[in-house]
Amino acid sequence: MTEEEVAGFLALRHTMSLATNGADGWPHVVAMWYGFLGNAPGFLTYRGAQKYRNIERDPRVSCLVEDGDRYDNLRGVMLRGRAEVVEDEDERVSLATNITSRYQGPLDQAGIEAVRVSIAKRVAFRVRLEDVASWDHRKLVAR
């Protein structure tokens, strides 16, 4: 995919598979809703979550966003980078409202306030991208 196609694809409402590195050496993969801080993908989790503990130990993550139900229409984007905690409260709220509105619809001021309250015990992460790989099998069929 081109950079524009990747951005357009990631802007759609997909679920992201987030892979972190477990202490035992095994990958730990979970399904996540995601959003954006600027152009950087981000997500929320709780401090007690395994993914949080894994990222605390090793910030390297891989994220997979994909769709398609047949080989000839598979497409996806793999993002690799380092997850970093978002400390700034305005950025945390911005990410949380972006995620919520992407998956649940537009928010009014009361909805944004509800999001602010709901993330009090959550940790926000931004992924500093180091590598992006993409594929679109629909283009193979077009040949």
CA 132 to chain centre: 13
Q: What is the pLDDT of residue 121?
A: 93
Q: Which amino acid is residue 17, in one-letter code?
A: S
Block mean pLDDT (10 aa), the chain, length 143 = 96 97 96 96 97 97 96 96 97 97 95 94 97 95 62
Q: What is the pLDDT of residue 23?
A: 94
Q: What is the pLDDT of residue 143?
A: 59
Q: What is the pLDDT of residue 1?
A: 96
- β-pairing, 75-85 vs 35-37, is unpaired
Domains and CATH numbers, the chain: 3-138 (2.30.110.10)
Q: What is the pLDDT of residue 141?
A: 67
